[in-house]
Chains A and B, each alone.
Chain A
Amino acid sequence: ETTLTQSPAFMSATPGDKVNISCKASQDIDDDMNWYQQKPGEAAIFIIQEAITLVPGTPPRFSGSGYGTDFTLTINNIESEDAAYYFCLQHDNFPLTFGQGTKLEIK
């Protein structure tokens, strides 16, 4: 089973900031990494697929990078609506596993 170590667990940002969220895999997972955004009481939204590809409808201020074991979700020019819980998922091997999540607060 692949363990995903996501950091930080919590971060606070100001509108216009750039933030990075990291997800490190315990073994090589190629580019089989997805990122999701979830707001309280809502279904999670798929924002990044295969490590670097924006899901249609995802604002271009979001980007993903990485391959193998180290992955990053970057949000440029943060907006207040980006306040949410973000988590990573690996689908390289079964069972699918998840990062512990990052709560992003916008000041």
Chain B
Amino acid sequence: QVQLQESGPGLVKPSQTLSLTCTVSGGSISGGDYYWSWIRQPAGKGLEYIGRIYTIGRTDYNPSLKSRVTISIDTSKNQFSLRLSSVTATDTAVYYCARGIISGGYYYGIDYWGQGTLVTVSS
């Protein structure tokens, strides 16, 4: 059973960089049949897709956040990470990591999610 677990600071100051790591267990992050995603949900609002990374390191970012987002992958640790720069209070949210499926060159949706971690942006 694949499990994903987010970790990182729960409090970040405005203008600083938010950094989170997702540790994958129960399966290898190196398999080419998956993409690895970050998603967030501000309190009382809907889910927002931040971006994804593939095992080869290629990334796709939501245009709404592209200028501030970096997603990276460390296959030796079975982890992938999110960095969001120049944060403001509007970046306060529960952040989720998740796995998506690629099969036959076709991109399917997400099959496994982490539990999520709350990150608050405040001085």
Chain B interface residue count, Cβ-Cβ cutoff 8 angstroms: 26
B107: which A residues are within 8 A, CB to CB? 91
- Given A49-B108, A94-B60, A96-B109: A43 in contact with B115 (beta carbons within 8 A): yes
Task: Check: A98 CB closer than 8 A to any chain B CB.
Answer: yes
Most buried by A among B47, B51, B110, B116: B47
Chain A nearest Cβ from B43, distance in angstroms: 13
Judging by beta carbons under 8 Å apart, are B47 and A87 in contact? yes
B112 and A43 contact, CB distance less than 8 A: yes
Residues of B within 8 A of A81 (CB): none
- How near does chain A come to B61, taking the closest CB pair, in angstroms? 8
Residues of A within 8 Å of B, CB-based: how many? Answer: 24
Closest chain-A Cβ to B6's Cβ sits at a distance in Å of: 10
Contact indicator per residue, chain A 62-80, by CB within 8 Å of chain B (1) or not (0): 0000000000000000000
Task: Identify the B interface with A (CB < 8 A).
Answer: 3-4, 37, 39, 45-49, 51, 60, 62-64, 96, 100, 107-116
Question: A32-B109, A91-B107, A96-B100 provided; 5 other pairs, C-beta below 8 A?
Answer: A38-B113, A46-B111, A49-B109, A90-B109, A91-B109
